A and B are shown apart, each in its own frame.
Chain A
Amino acid sequence: MITLKGLTQIFKKEIKHYFVAPIAYIVITIFLLVSGFFFFFFNGGFFYRGQASMRDFFTLLPIVFSFVIPAITMHQFSEEFNTGSYEMLLTMPLTYLDIIIGKFLASLTLTAVSLLPTLSYAIFISTIGNLDWGPVIGGYVGALLMGASFCAIGLFASSITNNQIVSFLVGAVICFGLSILQQALYFFPPVIADFLQNLSVSNHFYNVTRGIIDLKDLIYFAVLCFIAMYATRIVMEEKK
């Protein structure tokens, strides 16, 4: 059950926390530095390749998000457990879903905000070359879908411990594992490799970045979010 009022309040409080704390500015800066550096200078560099495309930016995004998003979500429950404010939170007229979805949407919003400045890359590239906007739009849609799944995973990681570092590491390991699964496929026999490819975040993300949004990929990201948030709910219920 969701009470819209409660969810909105949790969302507002979390967003305020990001910008007052000031987690948001630090995360956005680090994200832009790392993703910008890799995009423009890595693998020979953007200018050397001479292609008007953002493909390399999106290729690296799963790895960058694997570390940036758990840093956004690591405090969400861990800090509440640590300071005891979790007790205040749970004894106010809020449902589990209010709390989980409110926190989830707040971290997803911050992820979206940190992606916003990178739109300037697209605008910049379109002025110096002939940019195909289809894959760019697909790339941003994919980035939001993947970001949402990673936020849900990070939230779950935060719900299992009162230590923010443990929460970050657990979240990063799960996200990173799901991201590099695609690259590790050679090690497995073809039958298992096929199955694992369907589990890989990068595989579904690259599908979307081609500019083709398939129902299969949407379902994958939706299921990933659902599983992580449901697991968070189970953890919260177990704590009762």
Chain B
Amino acid sequence: MISIQNLTKYYDRFCALDHINFEVDKGEILGLLGPNGAGKTTTIRMLTCYMLPSEGNIQIKDLNIYDNPLEIKKMIGYLPESAPIYQHMIVYDYLRYVADIREIDPADQKKRIHHLADLCGISNMMHKNVSELSKGYKQRVGLAHAMMSDPEILVLDEPTSGLDPNQIIEVREIIKEIGKKKTVILSTHILSEVEASCDRYVIINQGKIAADDKTSNLNKSKDSKYDISLILANTSFDTVKSSLKTIGGVQDISKTFEKDGNLGVKIFCASSEDIRGSIYNHIKTTDWILLDFRREHTSLEDVFRKLTKEDQE
């Protein structure tokens, strides 16, 4: 549905984006990740026809950003970073103004605005001035702005920044709900957000794509090795180390913490072979108390750190 081809952007001589390519399918929720200044917002701004690329093209269906900016703008609902909404307007008036520009039938406008107000939780704020709203509520008004015309593509630049934990969960729910029918692209540097709500992630680092994969693949550890973490009581680290070392497949054992008689241990496995059964059977033969037993998954955080640090080195 969206195809980004050789996208390049120079700010004077500084290269913000360097020939990036990726595609987004219909109905996909894509998370755009990267450290600050990686080029996420630049990519999004070109996708929404706010800026033109120095080189390359973006194709949405059979439209491109050079020849059909107006049609593309009609297809995309966009929430810029920190939702810059007119301070002097009343929320309801603002949404009405957006509805008019988005060519919503005047007869349906009231219904649409109330539906969005319910969805975004701003029903009680409709008659307040935008300048009186807290950051979280402003963000929600921005979200309602983006969804006004029920667009096919929703682009959100850091949609949960500045929200409290409850609001973050609510906004994620909204995004997931929309993502069932629409294509959503969201940029963030909060990794758990991508793991929680996206189907796919693209990591941009220093203007280049560092990774592009499905979030579901994160849990299928690509590295053959994996770790097991244990919390034990009624034993000491030396005993644990010497006795677990005898199990085949264990490469190394390290202590993660020791507090109030509880001992945290990390077991590094030599191969992808699952040795959890033999470890459990071994523990059963001892008088140790097993408090926690967990296989560590490769998290997005690991992938992110590895990729963005490698490039810096």
Contacts and interface: CB of A to CB of B under 8 A. Distances in A.
A20 B101 contact: no
Given A92-B98, A93-B73, A93-B102, A240 B51 contact: yes
Interface size bucket, B side? 20 to 34
B99 to A, nearest CB: 10
Interface stretch (B24-32, B83-91, B215-223): B83-91
9 contacts: A16-B89, A87-B80, A88-B80, A88-B85, A91-B73, A91-B76, A91-B80, A93-B102, A240-B52
A240 to B, nearest CB: 5
A94 B50 CA distance: 11
Interface string B136-177: 000000000100000000000000000000000000000000
Contacts of A83: 84, 86-87
Interface of B: 45, 48-52, 70, 73-74, 76, 78, 80, 82, 84-89, 93, 97-98, 100-103, 145
A204 B37 CA distance: 53
Interface string A7-34: 0010011001100110000000000000
Contact of B85 (A1, A3, A85, A93): A85
A9 B101 contact: yes
A84 interface: yes
Given A90-B50, A240-B52, A17 B88 contact: yes
Interface of A: 1, 3, 5-6, 9, 12-13, 16-17, 20-21, 83-88, 90-95, 240
Given A87-B50, A87-B80, A88-B84, A9 B70 contact: no
Given A21-B88, A83-B87, A85-B85, A94 B101 contact: yes
B101 A93 contact: yes
Contacts of B52: 240
A5 B73 contact: no
Contacts of B86: 13, 17, 83, 85
B158 to A, nearest CB: 13
Nearest to B79: A88
Contacts of B101: 5-6, 9, 92-94
